[in-house]
Amino acid sequence: MQILLDYEILRLIWWVLLGVLLIGFAVMDGFDLGTASVLPFVARTDTERRVAINAIGPVWDGNQVWLILGGGAIFAAWPMVYAAAFSGFYIAMFLVLATLILRPVGFEFRNKMPGSRWRSAWDYALFAGGVVPSLVFGVAIGNLLQGVPFRIDQDLRIFYDGSGLFELLNPFGLLCGLVSLSMLASHGAAYLALKTTGNVADRCRTVASMLPFVTIVLFALAGVWIALGISGYSLAGDVDVAGPSNPLLKTVLRQPGQWLANYASHPWLMAAPALGFLGALGLIAASRVARPLAAFLASAVSIFGIIATAGVSMFPFLMPSSLDPKASLTVWDASSSRLTLFVMLIATLIFLPVVLTYTALVYRVLRGYVTTAQVEADGHKLY
């Protein structure tokens, strides 16, 4: 118990928990987004699109709990990060929320009228609801790696001095966005190959055996770009890891290639990018031999590796500042109080198993394929 009460350990635990929640969101809600992203390419008729939509229709809202948990964790454990992120990325977040709203609307409305134009319009709305969030989430990570233009005054008020959405859509940010999009689209194709049969499953296996190559190339290109062209951040001097949450009490250095320093100090961290590459290769191999469950699990491993790579590369930084590096928010100086972190940890230990148990039960009840015959026979009950 004494160890749990230590401020340094609590901060580290919450950094890990934040990563778990973000990876959980990418794995669970990621296949919903990915399914919508590949929908026009793997489902060509109205019946085939209904098969694909009904593969995620019963579970997408439950999967989105991971997004809520991630946002809640940032708000509770890292309030300064929450404030800076919502100030700097609010237009991008509004765009994400607007397109995410298209998902429930599209699910509910597309089957209300028989017209092909009506259904096609909602299918493309679902497509946008998959592509835009997948892209924007990656763009956000790309901008974090470059540093965000915010500053903090002596009263610890945060000021964002960026110019808006188009500033975020810089070349490296867009590259990271494409990594995210291809990663989640591959994940969605792997899920559909697991849940469907016939032409839809065949096309999904084809996509899942080819698109991960794009992820691999883009992920490698992003790594080279970081090594050669992106200045990373490091803490200089002694750091009080159990000190007060005041970002201005530290000295920060910025220099090219610094985001790779953690790998030099701790070579075992290379496991993260290795899993990103190996998982994508495993997805390709399993898809080509028609092993859909193995392909889906390999895709989840790839997602884990790619997101973990960003996290361990930046550690202990959570949100670096490009305007004033000293104002950068880190694990050691941007957290809530020790008491808050401890109380939230107890709540997480109680409720996270509930979420995991509920999720496991839902997927067990809904196991099996969604088939064309099922959709045609129960049309009035399905999307």
pLDDT grade, residue 379 (50/70/90)?
low
Separation CA 275–CA 36 (nearest Å): 25
Separation CA 264–CA 260 (nearest Å): 7
DSSP secondary structure code for residue 254 in this structure = E
DSSP secondary structure code for residue 40 in this structure = H
Query: What are the residue boundaries of the structural domains of the chain, listed by start?
Result: 2-377
**pLDDT tens-digit map of 359-369:** 889 888 888 88
| Burial grade of 91 (CB within 10 A; 0-12, 13-18, 19 or more) | middle
Separation CA 382–CA 47 (nearest Å): 11
Average pLDDT over residues 259-263: 94
Residue 4: pLDDT over 60: no
How would you write 168-219 as a 3-class SS string?
HCCHHHHHHHHHHHHHHHHHHHHHHHHHECHHHHHHHHHHHHHHHHHHHHHH
Model pTM?
Answer: 0.93
Q: 226 vs 125, 173, 219, 265, CA distance in Å?
A: 34, 12, 11, 17
Supply φ then ψ for residue 58, to 5 degrees: -75, -10
**pLDDT tens-digit map of 6-46:** 899 999 999 999 999 999 999 999 999 999 999 999 998 88
| Burial grade of 236 (CB within 10 A; 0-12, 13-18, 19 or more) | exposed
pLDDT grade, residue 135 (50/70/90)?
very high
